[in-house]
Each structure stands twice: as structure tokens, then as C-alpha cells.
Structure 1
Amino acid sequence: MRSYETARSLFSFLGFCSWVVIVIGAGAAFMGGAAVGATSFNNTPNIMQIALAAAPGVAILLLGLFGLALVQMGRAGVDSAEYGQQMLSVARNQLDISQQMLAQGATMAASYTEIAHQRSQPSPVSGNTAAPPASFADMPGSAALADADPDEPALTPMPARPEIPHTHVQELGDGHFKVHDRTFSNETDARDYQQKLLVK
């Protein structure tokens, strides 16, 4: 960022000179008016004489004010230049940040697209694709079992589960009890036999 210290120093010096001119003009105007009053002892000076005597001092004072106004306008121009330069620097920084964010977004989008493309393609392992999992359709049927080698041991079928007999205790009219196919003279023996049948 450029520095305007030289211009500021110059305007400060010119401002000081303008204030000096203003003070000198004010003093000259006052002294001119006072001199007119002092020279006329018997006659009262009129306003025109006082104005003409103070005119050079007033002119100098106005010249100092004009110079001070120019100095302030110059300072305002320097301040505007500095503010414009600062705004330009901030805008450039924001532009750089925006470009970096756009570049990062483009990189992330490209990476995501590449990852999605890699996942969509099958990745072979050692040149062979993975075999599909086995299913019940791949199991040999009855015809394949019939064509099997007779020397191989046959699979032993699982024994069928015996059916549970009718195990409720039936009370007969003559004081006997019947369980399945046996008859007992008391209920205790009938219940014991019933439990044996249920355990089998």
C-alpha cells in the first residue's frame, strides 16, 4: 500500500502558514482601524475611514482563509485516495479467497466423481472375479444321487421321529384305568406309565 505521508506533511505545513496569514490579517485590520482612531484627535472617524484602514488586513485574512480551505480540500483528496486504496486491497483479498474456494470446490467435485466411478466398476482380484454364492439350486437332486458311485458310502437317512401315542388316562367303570394299550388297577400306576410314554 502506498503512503501519502509526504502529502500530509506538506498540507500540514501549508495549513500552519494559512493560520499565520489569518492571524496577521486580523492583526493588521485591527491595527489599521485603531490607527485611524488615534490620528483623529478632535474629529470622530467615520466608518468609511475605518474600513479603508482595515481593508489591507481584511484582504490578508481572507487570503489566509482561502489558503486554509485549499489545504483542507487537499487533505480530503489524500484521505479519499487512501480509503480507495484500502478498499481495492480488501476487494483483491476477497477475490483471492473466492478463487481459492472455487478451486477447492472443483477439486472436491472431481474427487467425488472419481470415487463414484471407481465404485461403479468391479475391481478384479488376481485377474479372477469372485464366484457367486452358492444357492439351493446348485445342490444335487435325486437324479444326481442315483447316478453317484456305488462304492461311495451312502448317506444314512435320519430316523423318523416316532409318533406320540394316545397317552391320556381313561377311567373305566369297574375301578380300572387305561393308558394307551394297558389297563391298571389304580390311578397311580396309570399316571406313572403315562409319564414314561411322554418321556420317550
Structure 2
Amino acid sequence: MYRTKRACQGCGKPFYGGTDCHYCPECAKAKKADTVVKIRICQDCGTKFLGGPRARRCPECAHIAQQETNRKHRREGTKRPLGSTDRCVICGQEYTVVSGRQKYCSDDCQGKGVIKWQREHKKGYHKVSGQNIKKKERREAQEKVCVYCLRKFKSNNPTNLCSDYCRKEHKKLQQCIADIKRGYNRDLKKYENKREEYRLKFES
């Protein structure tokens, strides 16, 4: 459960989220759908088309490329027949080929290979696309919502209170609530009214 309220960069609505949460659940869902399927440019003919993250060709060029791949396969034949032996790219141990795309001798080596590929892929992707810079910019633009006065503020520190005043008054309020739970007779309404008056000051 996240305890820090943040301001959605899409609609401005406050929501609870982690450090890299920049949108409320509704905007995040729409943003994700827009990111997954969007207009891309075909690497062969240069036309624009709707495609997913790994789409490189428009449907027509993709069909042509697949036909060429099939012709090449029929012409050259299978390079590694099923039942032949090959060496694992991770540990070098020999294994029997049971699949055309098999590269590993065991599930353990496959797991290591996938992790290695992911690390290299992400490293290259971040370098080319500038994701680290974009993430830094998004974090700098991110706004939190103070739990005491409900004002929006920016801070790199792990806090959900915008000022020393709010921090002090919020602590008093929380202490009052804690004392009531312990059985003490405290005036909670006084602190709540003070908080509401302070909030109204910024709404007007």
C-alpha cells in the first residue's frame, strides 16, 4: 500500500502511487494502450501503420518478408535436424535438438540465457532510446499531494508533506488519534477543524 499521494500528469487527479507512478490508474491504462499499439513506420517501404512494440514492417511488407524466409528455408533446408546434437550457448554442454529454436541444454541454462539477453537488450534500448534521461525528466516533473493541506508540491525526498508547518501539524493530528486509541480524552475535532481551515485558505 502506497502512502504518498501524487498528482496525475494526465488529468491532475490525486492518487496513491510509487516513485515511478506518474498517472492515475485510469490514465495509466489509456496510456499503456496507446503505447502498445501506435503508429509506426515500416522499415522497408516507409509507410505508416498501426503496430505493437516489436512491429518493424507493415502487413504487406511483413507478408513479403515471410514469403522470402519460407523460400530460403525450402532452398537451403534445415540447418539443425531434430535429433542431432548441438552445444548449449551458456554452459557448452552437448544436448539433443528437440526444437528448431532450441539453444539451451536445460531449463536452468535457459533461465540464465533469458536474463542475460534481457540485461543486454535493456542496456542497449535505454542507450538508444534515452529511457534513463526520460525517466529522470518524468521524476523531476512529478508532483506529490500533501496529505495535510492537499497542495501539490515537488520533492525528491520520501515525504508526503510539503512543509515544516504541515509536518508539525500533521504530527499533532496523528498523535491525537493515537492518544484516543490508547483511551485518552483528546479533542480531535480541534485539529481536524484547524486542518480544514488551512486547506480552505489555499482553495480560495
Shorter-chain TM-score bucket reads: under 0.3
Name which one, 1 or 2, has greater alpha-carbon Rg: 1
More helix by share: 1
More strand by share: 2
The TM-score, its normalising length taken from structure 2, stands at 0.18
